Chains A and B, each alone.
Chain A
Amino acid sequence: MTARLDGDCIRLKGACPVEDAETLIGLLQQSAGATVDLQECGHLHTAVVQALLAASRPVHGAPADDFVRNWILPTLAKI
């Protein structure tokens, strides 16, 4: 399990494979006010990013993964 709800925050940890998309969507639907923390995530599968874009929740954290930090995070932040 790399996506989990922690209070009002959904934390993504490590690399998130395609299967996490379904879990993530479940978590997002479950807590409509939750934000998303990407601090500890690694690569995010496209399906996961798609879910985050559709959800349009505030994201925070500065992941160590360059690609996610430099290119995915700004895309998510713009929504």
Chain B
Amino acid sequence: MDELLEQFLIEARELTAQAADDFSALARDPADAERIDSAFRAIHTLKGSVAIFDMAPAERALHVAEDLLAQARTGRQLLSAGDVATLIALIDQTDRWVDAMERDGALDTAANREADSLVARLDPAPHVAADAGDQDWFSRLKVRDAAALAGATTNLIAFRYRPDADCFFRGEDPLATVRQVPGLVALAVLPITQWPSLAELEPFQCALTIEGVSRASETEIRAAFHLVSDQVDLVAIPASTQPRDDLPTFITNAAASLRVDVSRIDALADGVGELIIANNRLAHIANDVARSDPRLGALVRDAQAGLERAVSAMREAITAVRMTPLGPSLQRLPRLVREMADTLGKSVSFEMRGERTEVDKGIADQLFEPLLHIVRNALDHGLESAEVRRAAGKPEAGRLSVEVTRDGDHVVVAVSDDGAGIDVEGVKATAVRRGLLTQEAADLLDDGQAMRLIFAAGFSTAAVVTTISGRGVGMDAVQAAADRLGGRVEISSVARKGATISLRLPLNAIMTRLLIVRAGGERYGVPLDRIVETTSLATAGIHAVGMGRACVLRDRTLPVLSLSRLLGKEDMPAPIAKLLVTETVAERVGLVVDGFDERIDGLVRPRSGLLASVPGIAGTTLMGDGGVLLVLDLAELIG
């Protein structure tokens, strides 16, 4: 892709997000001067950016929005709720235009029509002349009085006064009225068509129009014209549409930040990962050396400790560089929610909180799609229709929120709605009908387990092909994404009150915490975030149930599998079974292992080469002693 376009796409997304954020604040308080200012700047810059490309319709629409905001900025013209709604529609449309530029490198044929309709809704003239044919008086005035307007340092108002033809008979004197207008900077007395000859002139018929420009406030001007207000049009002229503080802002930004290709940061992160491993290995060597030569061993250990401090500082720095606020990744969400709600014919008030929370870039990049599935699901299945909500005594507009919070070294992205909640029995029935499990198995599930069925592959076969993803993907995609990111999906629901589905993801994706387990005489790494708990119990407590085995753990029946057998090795029976409990899509499962060893931080490399075809292996990591540890993908292994 053209580098300029690439840069534009990044910037345009940021600017539309900024403007959208400002407009949603202005929807609550249309007089918020800071937001008006910020939105103005974003739209102004955006307009400048689109001008570089073949995006004339976008430029036109943004120009009108800029005018409207410029007026609001002077405080002369308050934004109405309708204005803000149109501005939001405009920014949504602009975002779609940016999509089109990214996809096709050009706007489609509908763009002109879309721009026209937005421009018509945004016309900044406060008092549009009754007859549309006459609206260009203002343009002519701007040309005629260009000198007076150019010299103005304050905001101006242009007026046009069209006295009635028989106003003289009523004792009116239009110029005496205009004399009362304070702060005149320009005045013209013009013929309605052209001046008649003296012979044709009707002395007592008024055949002129008076146009002028004043630096007084709208109130003062209206006061002067108050007896003839029906004959007067006013148009505000902002002092300057070029904010003077633009340049310094850009200069500061340029000096303070640097855009770097993510792959370069990734290369650094990989390097640090390797350093950590090399350092772990050095620690082992130090121990070996100390056994044969304590003095030399102490020296090596000392050097290794210094290296370790430097490496951890570096790791922290790299981690911090990769941390990015979630906001930009979520910026399209409000627009998509509005579009989806429109498609579904539902009214929704959408709120996003905590989008400034910083997460690892890898997480931020991959969060959007699963989040969109959850949001779509909530809009489609969670929120009831307006009639149902009314009958239930709820406000017609459903509430949907996305809240991002930090919880230790995890980020939790919770999507909550105030809809009907998840119909547990309905979910079970659907799952049985689709052949995901038997009726008997379904009957055994508690509510929490039953709700998780919505994440099972094949549950939402009805998956609607949406305009958003363009393909039918069910909630199983959410579970898959959470797994991929080393996270979990949590779900809670209260009947008739609503549901919350949360993605719990690690903040930091560089190193994976692993627990080393023994099974079938080998050692394996298991990502800690896949482990619910580790425990041990008497082997006698594990019973054969049907084809498999199960035990009772904390009053719940837990299916039990042997990790050795899953890996195709022999069981080594012991009187006390060590159990690793993990969570799969629909239920928890206990895995019998031979023993637990230490926990390590490992850089997990995706499986490759020969290993690529081995199921149940997520990848490999290098151990401190130089050995290779296979890291298990428990979900796939149990699958």
Give per-residue flags for A26-49: 1 if the beta carbon is below 8 A from chain B beta carbons, else 0: 001100000000000001111101
Within 8 Å of chain B (Cβ to Cβ): is A2?
A: no
Give the distance in Å from the alpha carbon of A44 to the alpha carbon of B173 in the complex: 9
Inter-subunit contact A21/B204 (CB<8 Å)? yes
Within 8 Å of chain A (Cβ to Cβ): is B540?
A: no
Q: How many residues of A contact B (CB 8 A)?
A: 24
Partner of A54 from B168, B175, B195 at Cβ < 8 Å: B195
Give the distance in Å from the alpha carbon of A8 to the alpha carbon of B138 in the complex: 40
Inter-subunit contact B173/A46 (CB<8 Å)? yes
Inter-subunit contact A46/B199 (CB<8 Å)? no
Inter-subunit contact A54/B197 (CB<8 Å)? yes
Inter-subunit contact B201/A46 (CB<8 Å)? no
Jot down 6 A-B pairs with beta carbons below 8 A, ordered by A.
A18-B168, A47-B203, A51-B198, A51-B203, A67-B175, A75-B187
Q: With A25-B198, A75-B188, A75-B189 in contact, do A53 and B208 touch (Cβ < 8 Å)?
A: yes
Contacts of A29 in B (CB 8 A): 198-199
Contacts of A21 in B (CB 8 A): 203-204
Q: With A29-B198, A53-B208 in contact, do A46 and B163 touch (Cβ < 8 Å)?
A: yes
Contacts of B204 in A (CB 8 A): 18, 21-22, 47
Partner of B203 from A25, A70, A71, A79 at Cβ < 8 Å: A25
User: Interface SS of chain A: helix, strand, loop or mixed?
Assistant: helix
Inter-subunit contact A46/B208 (CB<8 Å)? yes
Within 8 Å of chain B (Cβ to Cβ): is A72?
A: yes
Within 8 Å of chain A (Cβ to Cβ): is B615?
A: no
Within 8 Å of chain A (Cβ to Cβ): is B113?
A: no
Contacts of A18 in B (CB 8 A): 168, 173, 204
Contacts of B176 in A (CB 8 A): 43, 45-46
Give B215 Cβ to nearest chain A Cβ, in Å.
14
Within 8 Å of chain A (Cβ to Cβ): is B206?
A: yes
Contacts of A9 in B (CB 8 A): none
Give A65 Cβ to nearest chain B Cβ, in Å.
9
Give the distance in Å from the alpha carbon of A56 to the alpha carbon of B197 in the complex: 9
Inter-subunit contact B187/A47 (CB<8 Å)? no
Within 8 Å of chain B (Cβ to Cβ): is A55?
A: yes
User: Apart from A72-B189, A75-B189, what 9 extra A-B contacts exist at CB < 8 Å?
Assistant: A25-B203, A29-B198, A46-B168, A46-B208, A47-B173, A49-B175, A53-B189, A54-B201, A55-B198
Interface residues of B (CB under 8 A from A): 163, 168, 173-176, 179, 184, 187-189, 191, 195-199, 201, 203-204, 206-208
Inter-subunit contact A49/B195 (CB<8 Å)? no
Partner of B196 from A47, A54, A71, A79 at Cβ < 8 Å: A54
Give the distance in Å from the alpha carbon of A29 to the alpha carbon of B199 in the complex: 8
Give A7 Cβ to nearest chain B Cβ, in Å.
20
Contacts of B198 in A (CB 8 A): 25, 28-29, 51, 54-55
Partner of B191 from A47, A53, A71 at Cβ < 8 Å: A53
Inter-subunit contact A46/B196 (CB<8 Å)? no
Contacts of A28 in B (CB 8 A): 198
Q: With A44-B175, A67-B179, A75-B188 in contact, do A50 and B199 touch (Cβ < 8 Å)?
A: no
Give A50 Cβ to nearest chain B Cβ, in Å.
6
Inter-subunit contact B203/A45 (CB<8 Å)? no
Partner of B207 from A44, A50, A79 at Cβ < 8 Å: A50
Give the distance in Å from the alpha carbon of A67 to the alpha carbon of B212 in the complex: 13
Give the distance in Å from the alpha carbon of A49 to the alpha carbon of B195 in the complex: 12
Give the distance in Å from the alpha carbon of A51 to the alpha carbon of B196 in the complex: 9
Inter-subunit contact A43/B207 (CB<8 Å)? no
Contacts of B175 in A (CB 8 A): 43-46, 49, 67, 72
Closest CB pairs A-B (n = 9): A71-B187, A21-B203, A46-B175, A46-B174, A54-B195, A22-B203, A54-B201, A67-B179, A75-B189
Kindly name the residue among A18, A51, A54, A55 whose own CB sees the greatest number of chain B CB atoms within 10 A: A54
Contacts of A25 in B (CB 8 A): 198, 201, 203
Contacts of B173 in A (CB 8 A): 18, 45-47
Give the distance in Å from the alpha carbon of A59 to the alpha carbon of B345 in the complex: 70
Contacts of B187 in A (CB 8 A): 71, 75
Inter-subunit contact B206/A47 (CB<8 Å)? yes
Contacts of B199 in A (CB 8 A): 29
- When C-beta atoms are compared, the residue in chain A nearest to B200 turns out to be A54
Give B116 Cβ to nearest chain A Cβ, in Å.
38
Give the distance in Å from the alpha carbon of A70 to the alpha carbon of B163 in the complex: 22
Give the distance in Å from the alpha carbon of A25 to the alpha carbon of B173 in the complex: 18
Inter-subunit contact B184/A51 (CB<8 Å)? no
Give the distance in Å from the alpha carbon of A22 to the alpha carbon of B487 in the complex: 92
Contacts of B206 in A (CB 8 A): 46-47, 50
Inter-subunit contact A43/B188 (CB<8 Å)? no
Contacts of B179 in A (CB 8 A): 43, 67
Give the distance in Å from the alpha carbon of A47 to the alpha carbon of B168 in the complex: 8
Give the distance in Å from the alpha carbon of A22 to the alpha carbon of B201 in the complex: 10
Give the distance in Å from the alpha carbon of A55 to the alpha carbon of B201 in the complex: 9
Give the distance in Å from the alpha carbon of A21 to the alpha carbon of B198 in the complex: 11
Kindly name the residue among B176, B188, B201 whose own CB sees the greatest number of chain A CB atoms within 10 A: B201
Give A47 Cβ to nearest chain B Cβ, in Å.
5
Give the distance in Å from the alpha carbon of A67 to the alpha carbon of B293 in the complex: 106
Give the distance in Å from the alpha carbon of A53 to the alpha carbon of B163 in the complex: 16
Contacts of B201 in A (CB 8 A): 25, 50-51, 54
Contacts of A22 in B (CB 8 A): 203-204
Give the distance in Å from the alpha carbon of A24 to the alpha carbon of B179 in the complex: 22
Give the distance in Å from the alpha carbon of A53 to the alpha carbon of B206 in the complex: 12
Kindly name the residue among A47, A49, A72, A79 whose own CB sees the greatest number of chain B CB atoms within 10 A: A47
Give the distance in Å from the alpha carbon of A43 to the alpha carbon of B177 in the complex: 12
Give A27 Cβ to nearest chain B Cβ, in Å.
10
Give the distance in Å from the alpha carbon of A20 to the alpha carbon of B191 in the complex: 20
Give B460 Cβ to nearest chain A Cβ, in Å.
74
Give A21 Cβ to nearest chain B Cβ, in Å.
4
- When C-beta atoms are compared, the residue in chain B nearest to A57 turns out to be B198
- When C-beta atoms are compared, the residue in chain B nearest to A71 turns out to be B187
Give B569 Cβ to nearest chain A Cβ, in Å.
102
Partner of A50 from B184, B188, B208 at Cβ < 8 Å: B208
Give B162 Cβ to nearest chain A Cβ, in Å.
12
Contacts of B196 in A (CB 8 A): 54
Kindly name the residue among A45, A46, A56, A70 whose own CB sees the greatest number of chain B CB atoms within 10 A: A46
Inter-subunit contact B184/A71 (CB<8 Å)? yes
Kindly name the residue among B173, B184, B191, B197 whose own CB sees the greatest number of chain A CB atoms within 10 A: B173
Give the distance in Å from the alpha carbon of A67 to the alpha carbon of B179 in the complex: 7
Give the distance in Å from the alpha carbon of A54 to the alpha carbon of B203 in the complex: 10
Kindly name the residue among B175, B184, B191, B206 whose own CB sees the greatest number of chain A CB atoms within 10 A: B175
- When C-beta atoms are compared, the residue in chain A nearest to B188 turns out to be A75
